[in-house]
Structure 1
Amino acid sequence: MKQKPALLVLEDGTFFKGWSLSHSYTVAGEVVFTTGITGYQEILTDPSYSGQLVIFTSPEIGNTGVNNEDNESLRVSCSGVITRNLCHSPNSWRMTLSLSQFLNEQEIPILYGIDTRQLTQHLRSSGAMNGCLSNQILEPKTLLKKLQEIPSMEGLDLVKQFTGGQSYQWEESIVKKWRFNSWQKIEGSSSKTIIVLDCGVKYNILRHLSSYGFKVIVLPATSSVSQILSYDPSGIMLSNGPGDPSAVTYLIDVLKVLFDKKIPIFGICMGHQIIALALGAKTFKLKFGHRGINHPTGVFQKVEITSQNHGFAVSAESSFDDQIQITHYNLNDYTIAGIVHKKLPIFSVQYHPEASPGPHDADFFFSIFSQKVNSN
Structure 2
Amino acid sequence: MTHLPDPAVLVLEDGSRHPGRAYGARGTTLGEVVFATGMSGYQETLTDPSYAGQIVLQTAPHIGNTGMNDEDPESRRIWVSGYIVRDPSRVVSNWRATSSLDDTLERDGIVGISGIDTRAITRVLRSAGSMRGGIFSGDAASLDADEQLRIVREAPQMAGQNLSAEVSVAVAAVTPAVGEKIGNLAVLDLGVKQATLNNLAERGFEVHVLPQNSSFADITAIDPVAVFYSNGPGDPSASDAQVAVLREVLDAKLPYFGICFGNQLFGRALGLGTYKLTFGHRGINQPVRDKATGRVEITAHNHGFAVDAPIEGVFDSPAGYGQVEVSHVGLNDDVVEGLRALDIPAFSVQYHPEAAAGPHDANYLFDRFRDLVVANQKDSE
Give your verdict on TM over 0.5: yes
Q: Whole-Å Cα distance in 1 between the matches of residues 182 and 126 of structure 2?
A: 48
Aligned residue in 1 for 2:83: 81
User: Any idea what SS the aligned residue of 1:107 has?
Assistant: coil
Deviation at 1:358, TM superposition (A): 2.2
Deviation at 1:294, TM superposition (A): 0.8
Larger displacement relative to structure 2 (329-338 or 317-326): 317-326
Deviation at 1:320, TM superposition (A): 5.0
Aligned residue in 2 for 1:336: 336
Q: Whole-Å Cα distance in 1 between the matches of residues 133 and 53 of structure 2?
A: 11
2:169 to 164, 171, 175: 164
Aligned residue in 1 for 2:350: 350
Q: Whole-Å Cα distance in 2 between the matches of residues 103 and 137 of structure 1?
A: 18
User: Any idea what SS the aligned residue of 2:224 has?
Assistant: coil
Deviation at 1:213, TM superposition (A): 2.2
TM-score, reference length from structure 2: 0.92
In the TM superposition, 1:273-288 aligns within 5 A as 273-288=264-279
In the TM superposition, 1:24-39 aligns within 5 A as 24-39=26-41
Aligned residue in 2 for 1:180: none
Aligned residue in 1 for 2:141: 137
User: Any idea what the Cα deviations from partners look like across 1:158-207, whole Å, max 9, x if unmatched?
Assistant: 01111222111125x6xxxxxxxxxxx6x4x3151111000010000000
Note the residue ranges of structure 1 that are not aligned, 5 or more in a row. 174-184
Aligned residue in 2 for 1:310: 303
1:261 aligns with 2:260: no
Q: Whole-Å Cα distance in 2 between the matches of residues 316 and 12 of structure 1?
A: 32
1:101 to 89, 103, 108: 103
The residue identity in structure 2 corresponding to 1:141 is D
Note the residue ranges of structure 2 that are not aligned, 5 or more in a row. 377-381
TM-score, reference length from structure 1: 0.93
Deviation at 1:260, TM superposition (A): 1.4
Aligned length: 362
Q: Whole-Å Cα distance in 2 between the matches of residues 112 and 101 of structure 1?
A: 14
Deviation at 1:357, TM superposition (A): 2.0
In the TM superposition, 1:349-368 aligns within 5 A as 349-368=349-368
Paired residues of 2:25 and 2:105 also in contact (CA < 8 A): no
In the TM superposition, 1:171-210 aligns within 5 A as 171=176, 187=179, 189-210=180-201
User: Any idea what SS the aligned residue of 2:347 has?
Assistant: strand
Deviation at 1:23, TM superposition (A): 3.6
The residue identity in structure 2 corresponding to 1:119 is I
Aligned residue in 2 for 1:371: 371
Q: Whole-Å Cα distance in 2 between the matches of residues 320 and 98 of structure 1?
A: 52
Paired residues of 2:185 and 2:227 also in contact (CA < 8 A): yes
RMSD of aligned alpha carbons: 1.6
Aligned residue in 2 for 1:154: 159
CA 1:34–1:246: 2 relative to 1, 3 Å: same
Q: Whole-Å Cα distance in 1 between the matches of residues 95 and 243 of structure 2?
A: 45
Paired residues of 2:227 and 2:257 also in contact (CA < 8 A): yes
